[in-house]
Amino acid sequence: MINFEIIVVLVVLVFLIISLYTELFKPITAFFVAIVVLSVTQILTPQDILQGFANEQIAVIILLLVIGGVIQKTSIIDTAFAKMFENAKTQKGFLWRMHFYIAISSTVFNNTPLVAMMMPYLDSWSKRNKVAPSKLLIPLSYAAIIGGTATLIGTSTNLIINGMTISSGEAPLNILDFAWVGVPMILISFVYIYFFSDKLLPDRRNIASSITSESQREFLVEAIIKKNSNLCGKTIMEARLRNIKGLFLVEIIRNEVSLTAVSPTEEIKANDKLIFAGETSYIIDLLKNNSEIVIPQADNIILKNRTELVEVIVSKNSSLINKKIRKGNFRSRFDAVIVAAHRKGERLTGRIGDIELRAGDILLLLTGKTFDFSNIDGNDFYLISNIDAIHKIERSKRLILTLGLILTLVFSVFKIVTLFKSLIVLLAVIMLFNIASSDEIRKSINLKIIAIDGMALGLGLAMINSGTAALLSDLLLNVFAPLGVVGLLSGVFIITNVLASFMTNVAAISIIFPISLESARQLLATGQINSIVPFILIVAYAAAANFVTPIGYQTNLMVYGAGGYNFRDFFKIGLPLSIIFGIVAVVMLSFVYGLF
């Protein structure tokens, strides 16, 4: 029977759906208003509201994002990408590598940071190989989403579902419960994307420059071969330095003698100074990932500090004009070193230190911790952009971080220690060994995610406590009951997927999960099913399998503008994939849990 509390909850649900779909309010505002109304009408007590924020799964999400951010700053992932795609020369070759590498990585890493890290690399690869980024960006997002559905920790959606499951008094899900559908979908989606994405996705080559904020200026950068480098004695061709990751070898300076038009058979010697020309992204790669060669002065500043790579332009009144770079005392004056230089309309040559600066020259500075961003503009140069952060740590610390992450996952999979406890210990190790500072960890915490997820859990509890979930589940049963248990499971997927496509997956989960759970409990009580787990998992799959619109999932939004896409592009390639995912999910869950 419909009572006052059910009416209030239904009104709140309608308000949420309209607000999120029309973007009348920001998600955090809409959820906050909803929780306030439920609190004022006493449907939710203060304890109920706080229970959502105290949920262990919310803490797991926060810890995963923080640790993922630490891993990103150590360049472990960047180095891996460079190795993974080293031999990718064609669009298809890059596509299949990207799909499997990203999908598999997303099973253990949060998919949003993975997409964020992959986008600049995809951009630079597209430019080098003359491929439209619009052919690859949506497949990147989809691979990350699908990979995330294969494990409990692959996406925050699964963690939230697990949190709601525990809050409802049910047993927690296992980290590999999601693999029955997720793993087959990694393979099936690859076949679909590999053969149909090129036909269904637009070719918008003019968008390439908009993916990252980096300009396409060609800088001159100087590097030195270390005395103990493994490259010593090898030829330029054997060392793969002729065209190292987009940096063209202009000349070699050996014992103050310049060797131009460098032959591929030229033998490398210790202390050789290599002069490269290339774009910003490749210089960043050189700074982060190459252990055999160093940039003069830069190596010391990287090892001592967490540094920033910034782009500046020499002002017309600069005291540096007509001075050679090596005489500018950059290290002592600014706590920064010049790692590369660009001059419009002129190709620079020779050693970086011998370049005489002019007004308008653009410099890449590697800055130390005392570099003053606020006081540089208008004096010697103007700040153009803050390009990247470099947090170089010792090999021993990288090893500790890698082993710690592996042990965390192993302990969680085999239920030796809970995921929350494992992550807490790993975070303590990160701080104890100074792999990341407390300030960096604090900046990695996303308060919006915490607020929205916590309030979504509170909304789900309100639906259960008020009887709204039971009422809606009865309606769902009446509509899909004639189609049997499998038909009901299909109905839950369709409704959840449609809602998630037009608002957010968190919002869709908070609305549908209580309904699906109550429906499963009724079926279990009547002996029609043996487990409620498939009705929990189907909500997670449907909410995460968000391919039809760019607004339902964060990774879709990330590639939406970068690829110059419109809603129709997502609908054209995403609708068939959503249907395929739904069929696979229903069939596999029905088979595994005996619903046929």
Confidence check: pLDDT of 494 > 60: yes
Tokens of 594: 């005996």
Over residues 578-593, mean pLDDT: 95
Amino acid of residue 529: I
Tokens of 244: 């190292």
Amino acid of residue 588: M
pLDDT tens digits, 271-295: 888 888 776 666 666 665 566 677 7
The radius of gyration of the chain from alpha carbons, rounded to an integer in Å, stands at 27
pLDDT tens digits, 374-407: 555 556 777 666 655 555 567 788 788 888 878 8
* Average pLDDT of the chain to the nearest whole number: 80
Residue-range domains of the chain with CATH? 219-390 (3.30.70.1450)
Q: Please, which pLDDT band fits residue 213 given cuts at 50, 70 and 90?
A: very low
Q: How far apart are CA 104 and CA 555, in angstroms?
A: 16
Whose tokens are 């899909």? That residue is 480
Over residues 467-496, mean pLDDT: 83
Question: By percentage, how much of the chain surpasses pLDDT 70?
Answer: 81
Tokens of 213: 């904020």
Q: How far apart are CA 115 and CA 102, in angstroms?
A: 8
Q: Please, which pLDDT band fits residue 313 given cuts at 50, 70 and 90?
A: confident
Minimum mean pLDDT among 214-218, 281-285, 304-308: which range?
214-218
Q: How far apart are CA 66 and CA 109, in angstroms?
A: 11
Residue 346, sorted as left (phi over 0), alpha (psi -120 to 50) or beta, turns out to be beta
Over residues 469-478, mean pLDDT: 74
Per the CB < 8 A criterion, the answer to whether 437 and 422 are in contact is no
